[in-house]
């Protein structure tokens, strides 16, 4: 999981640091944001101290109605050793009690000009993206007709050569050799290339080529949602391969399952064309058109008609 600090959100969301500068390197470990209204009222039994705290107009208006003793007590309890930071919205004045408590506990207090709901949305989206679980898979990711196709297989089976042919046919390369994958939300996997090898393709015997330089900016993408996996394997004459397309194998990454097709590799097979057709067929299936099921239904209907004639 990526590391996000308070300093990162200050720079990303253009926040003003008011106090607690010593704590700007505090880590943010969750994308959940808290609006501590109940805590301001004195109820700390379930205070989520590990979250960023947002104080808007509602919370601060109620806070001003408290007596001086309660004000100091509430702010002291808001600022804990694990609280990453407190953000004041709408560019409102920061209570002196909060500034004093934050300096003692080194909890950064920031201020934003945005409304509370708008800031909450922006902050949540940013943290969910940065804190999404990630992994890396050996393979190639290509955008084929709008379908994010993850090509896997053993080293030397021809993944990069197939990707090169797909790029020549007008499709876009996302990553070669290593695909970084993050789960942004449920059933949503997004892949990209590590920065070091972005836009690069390794072809055995030829070396490393820069796809964007050779084929233009339209031949590459920075990231793509992964919706289909195609596994290339050397042809095995003893293995039975699916010839109708009724079997639906799945590949699981994190909590998300995506369809997986196994394509045998042998001389003379045009893998790029096969992958193009697989991507188009995948789109048709999502639109409710399944050629394999239609064929099976017609076959069963024909057999039933022949039995009735007999």
- Pair 103, 19: CB distance under 8 Å: yes
Name the domain boundary from 130, 155, 182: 130
Q: Let me know whether 105 and 74 are in one domain.
A: yes
Q: How far, in Å, CA of 183 to CA of 186, rounded?
A: 7
Q: Let me know whether 138 and 271 are in one domain.
A: yes
Q: Let me know whether 118 and 146 are in one domain.
A: no
Is 177 an annotated catalytic residue?
A: yes
Residue 42: per-residue pLDDT: 94
The count of C-alpha atoms lying within 13 angstroms of the C-alpha of 310, restricted to the half-sphere facing its C-beta, is 6
Residue 51: per-residue pLDDT: 95
Residues in the chain: 310
Flag whether 118 is in a domain. Answer: yes
Q: Let me know whether 201 and 243 are in one domain.
A: yes
Q: Each residue's pLDDT tens digit in the chain (310 positions)? A: 568 999 999 999 999 999 999 999 999 999 999 999 999 999 999 999 999 999 999 999 999 999 999 999 999 999 999 999 999 999 999 999 999 999 999 999 999 999 999 999 999 999 988 888 889 999 999 999 999 999 999 988 889 999 999 999 999 999 999 999 998 877 889 999 999 999 999 988 889 999 999 999 999 999 999 999 999 998 877 777 766 666 788 999 988 899 999 888 888 788 999 999 999 999 988 888 777 777 777 877 887 777 666 5
Choice among 26, 74, 159, 171 that is catalytic: 159
Q: Which residues of 254-286 are buried (b: 16+ CB within 10 A; e: fewer)?
A: eebebebbbbebeeeeebbebbbebbebbbebe
Flag whether 307 is in a domain. Answer: no
Q: Let me know whether 103 and 222 are in one domain.
A: no
Name the domain boundary from 106, 130, 154: 130
Residue 307: per-residue pLDDT: 67
CATH number of the domain residue 64 falls in = 3.40.1390.20
Flag whether 148 is in a domain. Answer: yes
Residue 238: per-residue pLDDT: 77
Residue 43: per-residue pLDDT: 95
Q: Let me know whether 75 and 98 are in one domain.
A: yes
- Pair 98, 86: CB distance under 8 Å: yes
Q: Which residues are annotated as a binding site for Mg(2+)?
A: 160, 202
Choice among 8, 143, 176, 177 that is catalytic: 177
Q: Which residues are annotated as a binding site?
A: 153-160, 202
Does the predicted model carry a pTM greater than 0.95?
no
Q: Which of 179, 134, 171 is nearest to 152 (CA)?
A: 179
Q: Let me know whether 185 and 84 are in one domain.
A: no
- Total of domains in the chain: 2
Look at the alpha carbons of 69, 72, 75, 80 in this order and tell me if their dihedral is positive or negative. Answer: negative
Flag whether 306 is in a domain. Answer: no
CA angle 89, 93, 99 (to 5 degrees): 95
Q: Which domain holds residue 165?
A: 134-295
Q: What is the CA radius of gyration of the chain?
A: 28
Flag whether 121 is in a domain. Answer: yes
Q: Let me know whether 152 and 229 are in one domain.
A: yes
CATH number of the domain residue 193 falls in = 3.40.50.300
Q: Let me know whether 123 and 161 are in one domain.
A: no
Residue 293: per-residue pLDDT: 77
Name the domain boundary from 107, 130, 153: 130
Q: Which of 173, 179, 178 is nearest to 210 (CA)?
A: 173
Q: Let me know whether 138 and 235 are in one domain.
A: yes
Flag whether 49 is in a domain. Answer: yes
Is 298 an annotated catalytic residue?
A: no
Residue 244: per-residue pLDDT: 66
Q: Which of 300, 2, 277 is nearest to 131 (CA)?
A: 2
Flag whether 62 is in a domain. Answer: yes
Flag whether 90 is in a domain. Answer: yes
Q: Let me know whether 162 and 226 are in one domain.
A: yes
What is the distance in angstroms between the CA of the first residue and the CA of the last residue of the chain?
66
Q: Let me know whether 47 and 139 are in one domain.
A: no
Is 159 an annotated catalytic residue?
A: yes
Q: 260 CB contacts (<8 Å, ≥6 apart)?
A: 228, 229, 230, 231, 249, 250, 251
Q: Which residues of 101-113 are buried (b: 16+ CB within 10 A; e: fewer)?
A: bbbebbbbbbbbe
């Amino acid at each position: 999981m990526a590391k996000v600090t308070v300093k990162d959100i200050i720079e990303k969301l253009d926040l003003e640091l008011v106090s607690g500068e010593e704590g700007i390197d505090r880590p943010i470990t969750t994308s959940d944001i808290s609006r501590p209204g109940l805590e301001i009222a004195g109820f700390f039994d379930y205070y989520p101290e590990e979250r960023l705290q947002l104080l808007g107009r509602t919370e601060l208006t109620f806070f001003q109605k408290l007596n001086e003793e309660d004000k100091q007590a509430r702010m002291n309890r808001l600022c804990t050793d694990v609280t990453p930071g407190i953000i004041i919205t709408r560019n409102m004045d920061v209570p002196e009690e909060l500034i004093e408590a934050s300096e003692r506990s080194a909890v950064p207090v920031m201020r934003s000009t945005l409304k509370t709901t708008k800031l909450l949305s922006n902050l949540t989206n940013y943290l969910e993206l940065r804190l999404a679980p990630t992994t890396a898979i050996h393979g190639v990711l290509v955008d084929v007709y709008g379908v994010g196709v993850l090509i896997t297989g053993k080293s030397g089976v021809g993944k990069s050569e197939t990707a090169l042919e797909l790029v020549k046919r007008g499709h876009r390369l996302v990553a070669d050799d290593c695909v970084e994958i993050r789960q942004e939300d449920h059933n949503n996997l997004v892949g990209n290339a590590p920065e070091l090898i972005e836009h690069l393709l390794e072809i055995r015997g030829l070396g490393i080529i820069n796809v964007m330089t050779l084929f233009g900016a339209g031949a590459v993408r920075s990231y793509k949602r992964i919706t289909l996996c195609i596994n290339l394997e050397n042809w095995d004459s003893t293995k039975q391969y699916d010839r109708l397309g009724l079997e639906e194998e799945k590949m699981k990454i994190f909590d998300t399952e995506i369809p997986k097709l196994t394509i045998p590799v042998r001389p003379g097979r045009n893998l790029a064309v096969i992958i193009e057709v697989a991507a188009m067929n995948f789109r048709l299936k999502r639109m409710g058109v399944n050629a394999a099921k239609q064929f099976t239904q017609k076959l069963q209907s024909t057999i039933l008609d022949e039995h009735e004639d007999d």
